[in-house]
Structure 1
Amino acid sequence: MKNNFKKFGFLLAGVLAVSSCKKEYLETLPTADVSGETVFATTKGAQVALEGTYRMMYTSYTNHGNFGQKSYEIVSDLMGTDIVLHAQGYGWFNTDYQYTANASAADAGRSERIWYYYYTLINNANRIIANIDNATGTPAEREDIKGQALAIRAHSYFYLVNFFQQTYKGNETKPGVPLYTTPTSVGNPRGTVQQDYTQILADLKQAETLLTGKAQTVKSHISVAVTQGIIARVALQMEDYATARDYAKKARGTIAPMSGATYNAGFSSTTNTEWMWGLTVNIEQATIYASYFSHMDNTASGYAGLGSYKKITKALYDQIPATDARKTAFKAPGTTGLPDYTILKFRKPSASTWDGDYLLMRAGEMYLIEAEASARLGDDANALAVLTTLVKTKNPSYAFAGTGTALLNEILLQRRIELYGEGFQLNDIKRLKQGLVRPTGAGNHGAPNFDAVTYTLPDASPKFLMRIPQSEINTNKSFTAADQNP
């Protein structure tokens, strides 16, 4: 967040804008602007502004490697252990995989783009939160809009603090990211990790209260169940296992895990009954090559399908039983067509269009959080029961019977398999405090196709952190050079 802001109006399409002395936090079109006061005069106008904020989450920014939330989930996974880049291809995301992008503080670099994206969402949420109480409309409408805005703000801060600092536990007093809870023209200093998490949880708890009893009319909107799911994610990262367990169970409710056939249907439609939160992307709003499926659908004519293939490691593939439907989410070695181990899990609904939806949360994640948290709390019986319920839908012969450390390790393995490519790797590496250990050799990372350069990193390595954008350090009067990450 820069320390100088211009005052901008609001697009009728619902995209809010603020800017710094150097750049706009959200580029807007020069037409159809109306004042913020007009937008927030009614809940109908505020809802339009909220819809524009959601749309930001899948909009393309600056280049074909920045297209909202899913682009930074790709970054998280490519900085992990289980996705292999097959070849240099067109270059997008290569430097994330090689652990060099996050070392740059330059404008339009990865760190600056992440900072820009999440603080733009936060600014938009802050404008909504600051104005919604006075909007004409029903109390329920005001509560619904405010609750969603609070959850968006919390979700954004959670990603920011985890990209720009190590995990919560053991790092509570270290510098986190600046907190802004009202529209402002003054740049704030870095808060501590604890301060960031305290605000995240306060926002989410208030959102939970406001959203209780409100219907989720479309999957793109944050509901009370999604809010509870975010709380479960945050609690897991904090190692607050009792809260993680309880909220994961509360969030998933009666949602059943998807079948093996549904698992292999492409992960591209909010009609999937297990999806709790997903962005509906229609053809008119699709960003074509600058999109998630361009980079992750290896069967389509996007960047992935044109040679920038992404693959599972042989090491993880070999741990998926032949009886498990999830094994067919990857190209079997020795068969014709795509390179061995190519990811087939993520595919557009139609090869001729770009209207695939973006998954942000599903019940399967909640089953895994509940299972892991239960195991860490010593409740092996519940952990095993929840895990078995999830896995058997894809592998009917699944019959794991271990306890203790063996059970916990099995849950973590199933988490890597079940949530493969869904954006959790970097946070998991940090919270598990095991460092980065990429398998090498045939079918894994490294030559002959692509040299990843970085194969191992110790726990809490500075290389896990994004750099604070240099433009932020230069223009935010609350910052000094000492605020830069190591």
Structure 2
Amino acid sequence: MNILNKSRFSFCLMLVALISVSCSDDFLQNSPTDAISAEDALSSTDNMMLVLNGLHRQVYSQAQLPGSSSSRSGESHFIPSLDAMGGSIIHSSPGNGWMTSDLQWLTHTNPTYTTVYNFWYQRYHFIASSNSIINTVSEGDFAETPRLNNVLGQAYAYRAWAYHKLVTTYAKGYTIGNPSTDLGVPIVFSTETPYESAPRSTVEEVYAQMEKDIDEAIAHLENASNAANKSHISLNAAYGIKARIALSKGDWETAAEAAALARDGYQLLDESQWLSGFNTVDLSEVIWGGEVIDSETNYFQSYFYYVSPTFNGSQNRSNPKIISSGLYDMIPETDFRKEAWLPMAPNTNPSASNGEGGSYESDPNYDSEEEFQNAKDEIIATYGMTSAHNTHPYMTVKFLQQNPGTTDPDDVIYMRASEMYLIEIEALAMMNQTSEAQQLLQEFGASRDSDYDASDFSDQAELMEEVKFQRGVELWGEGFSFHDHIRWDEPLDYSDSGAAKVLYQDGYFQERPSQNDDWIWKIPQAEIDANPYITSSDQN
């Protein structure tokens, strides 16, 4: 039985797990959670919404799916993992070992590794669950209501989102390959016996399905009840997914139009908001994000465990995450985002991979023990870390807990208005609509830098270099850098970054994606072994 089929067989089990944490009292009284069948769970609009609520949690929470591993916890893991592989988040030491193999490019190139298995398996779980809702409504006798449109809109959006994650990760990039012949991922619709899977469709075919799904999602959400909260996929979020799909395809006109619709009504953050820690979906820019429930948190597998310098876990205490020094040094002094990293933080970790940690004697920025220790104490006091936390030059303070120095959960942000601005600017630049791109870039840039002047970027090449810079700073740590390299066909090169080659090894430099198939994740070996439609000859 392949992974896709396993996700269908596990669907009834998952419904029990998902519904048991969110059922209404009436439903529980009529159907105990240990006896809920798929038929019951999909029997009404309200019950289908409960299934969606479970998916909302699965985006960020520990993977409790049958057959998967909780050590790779949805977007909480994969957002920082993709940035560790894509050059955004730089590790300053091996820490406790978590993600070291990711940044060394050893995980996604190994078909037996948990990372490639869970990424594939979790996304096909979203597809299977979405299929169940879509097929049930299609085959049933449900009255069209705003609430039913909400359910269907989110189901179609989740299916499009999952296929986009899969095809951009397990196949050659659309803009650098031959999408009509390049192998993508299986497209599956069935939710009933005999649970037939499928061979790998072409990249072009997968994109066609994604585009159809996201347009269906938008059509339903335009006539739907309002999203209950930002964990739910709203109409704006669906437009954001559409913009991402179009951007990765090089469909610039669609990307620009969808991004503008996605950000409509979401104000750019001001300075105090931007520097507040990115720890809540209540920020004005957040279009879509996981509103983390205390009882459902990941604790030592959470997003903040990987990215926040204040989280009280061994990953952060021993391994402060840093920005590329080359990128940081490009940020103007008049840009308030420069405060989100600390270039002069003392290197207090004896195990720092650059060999300069442990004392003022090895840290070139300090001349005395007193100066060295005072600098650390000031950082600890300012940001609320524990005395056991290490510091490191260029360390991030972009992501800060609401309750620093603890393991308390914080929200996970998936989509912000800033991303949509930058998608639209990139698309306008690629269409050679220079004045329109400059106008929007001025609006965005001036919100961050008091001296910003977009007229400095007068043609497509200059605009694109500025987009790359802005995405690198604005979206640092938010999971985009790996796929940005693919879209731009740029090599990965940690020269002039502060990363230690002894730590990064093969991940220190990777040739551009058009010339290097290691940018394409391996299909899980478990899928090849079990799926009769995929053989070893189909492996990336």
In 1, Cα distance between equivalents of 2:126 and 2:69: 19
SS at match of 1:176: strand
- Deviation per CA, 1:74-129: give whole Å up to 9, x if none: 222111123211001111111110011111111x5211111111111111111111
Taking the TM superposition and a 5 Å limit, the aligned residue runs for 1:467-478 are 467-478=522-533
- Unmatched segments (≥5 aa) in structure 2: 21-31, 347-374, 377-390
Q: Which region of structure 1 is more displaced relative to structure 2, 389-398 or 240-249?
A: 389-398
RMSD: 2.1
> 1:174–1:302: structure 2 CA closer, same or farther, 3 Å change rule?
same
In 2, Cα distance between equivalents of 1:43 and 1:128: 9
- Deviation per CA, 1:235-279: give whole Å up to 9, x if none: 111111111111111111132211121111111101101100011
> 1:199–1:453: structure 2 CA closer, same or farther, 3 Å change rule?
closer
> 1:459 and 2:516 equivalent?
no
> 1:159 and 2:165 equivalent?
yes
> 1:249–1:13: structure 2 CA closer, same or farther, 3 Å change rule?
same
Q: Which region of structure 1 is more displaced relative to structure 2, 326-335 or 232-241?
A: 326-335
TM-score between the two structures when normalised by the length of structure 2: 0.83
Contact between 1:42 and 1:135, CA under 8 Å: does it hold in 2?
no
> 1:60 and 2:62 equivalent?
yes
In 2, Cα distance between equivalents of 1:126 and 1:104: 29
> 1:36 and 2:38 equivalent?
yes
Question: Matched residues, percent identical?
Answer: 29
SS at match of 2:333: coil
> 1:268 and 2:279 equivalent?
yes
Q: CA deviation at 1:64?
A: 6.5
SS at match of 2:168: helix
1:390 maps to which residue?
444
> 1:144 and 2:150 equivalent?
yes
2:12 maps to which residue?
9
> 1:71 and 2:127 equivalent?
no
> 1:449–1:199: structure 2 CA closer, same or farther, 3 Å change rule?
closer
Q: CA deviation at 1:438?
A: 2.2
In 2, Cα distance between equivalents of 1:33 and 1:102: 38
1:27 maps to which residue?
none
Name which of 172, 177, 186 aligns with 1:178: 186
> 1:379–1:293: structure 2 CA closer, same or farther, 3 Å change rule?
same
- Unmatched segments (≥5 aa) in structure 1: 17-29
In 1, Cα distance between equivalents of 2:4 and 2:307: 37
Name which of 213, 232, 255 aligns with 2:266: 255
Name which of 442, 453, 465 aligns with 1:409: 465
2:492 maps to which residue?
436
> 1:360 and 2:364 equivalent?
no
Taking the TM superposition and a 5 Å limit, the aligned residue runs for 1:31-430 are 32-61=34-63, 65-106=71-112, 109-133=114-138, 134=140, 139-169=145-175, 170-172=177-179, 173-184=181-192, 185-214=195-224, 215-334=226-345, 336-337=375-376, 338-351=391-404, 352=406, 354-401=408-455, 402-404=457-459, 405-430=461-486
In 2, Cα distance between equivalents of 1:94 and 1:449: 8
In 1, Cα distance between equivalents of 2:223 and 2:199: 37
The structure 1 segments of at least 4 consecutive aligned residues displaced by more than 4 Å after TM superposition are 62-65, 135-138, 447-453
> 1:93–1:12: structure 2 CA closer, same or farther, 3 Å change rule?
same
Q: Which region of structure 1 is more displaced relative to structure 2, 144-153 or 175-184?
A: 175-184
Letter in 1 for 2:90: V
SS at match of 2:462: helix
SS at match of 2:312: coil
Contact between 2:256 and 2:427, CA under 8 Å: does it hold in 1?
yes
Contact between 2:16 and 2:36, CA under 8 Å: does it hold in 1?
yes
> 1:269–1:241: structure 2 CA closer, same or farther, 3 Å change rule?
same
Contact between 1:268 and 1:358, CA under 8 Å: does it hold in 2?
yes
Letter in 1 for 2:45: T
In 2, Cα distance between equivalents of 1:476 and 1:330: 47
TM-score between the two structures when normalised by the length of structure 1: 0.92
> 1:178–1:372: structure 2 CA closer, same or farther, 3 Å change rule?
same
2:386 maps to which residue?
none
> Which has the larger helix fraction?
2
